[in-house]
Amino acid sequence: MTTKGELPLAGIRVVEFSHMVMGPSTGVILADLGAEVIKVEPIGGDQTRRLMGSGAGYFPMFNRNKRSICIDLKTAEGVALAASLVESADVLVENFRPGALQKMGLGPDRFQQSNPRLIYYSAKGFLSGPYENRTALDEVTQMMGGLAYMTGPPGRPLRAGASVIDVAGGMFGVIGILAALERRHRTGIGGEVKSSLYETTAFLVGQHMAQMAVTGVAAQPMPVRISAWAIYDVFETANEDEQLFVGVVSDGQWASFVKAFDLGEIGSDPAYAKNNDRVRARDIILPVVRALFARHPRADLVPRLEASGVAFAPIARPEDLFDDPHLNQSGGLVELELENGTRTRLPALPVELDGKRPHGARGLPRAGEDATAILTDIGLDDAAIAALRARGVIGAEEGALA
Catalytic residue positions?
Answer: 166
Q: Which residues pair with 94 in a beta bridge?
A: 17, 122
CA distance 384 to 352: 43
CA distance 180 to 45: 30
How many residues does this entry show for the chain? Answer: 402
Largest CA distance in the chain: 86
Q: Left, alpha or beta for 188 (phi > 0: left; psi -120 to 50: alpha)?
A: left
Yes or no: say if 84 and 15 are a contact pair by the CB < 8 Å rule: no
CA atoms within 13 A on the CB side of 54: 4
Alpha-helical segments (H) within 313-381: 325-329, 371-377
Q: Which residues pair with 343 in a beta bridge?
A: 337
DSSP state of 364: P
Q: What are phi and psi of 73, to 5 degrees?
A: -80, 5
Yes or no: say if 246 and 310 are a contact pair by the CB < 8 Å rule: yes
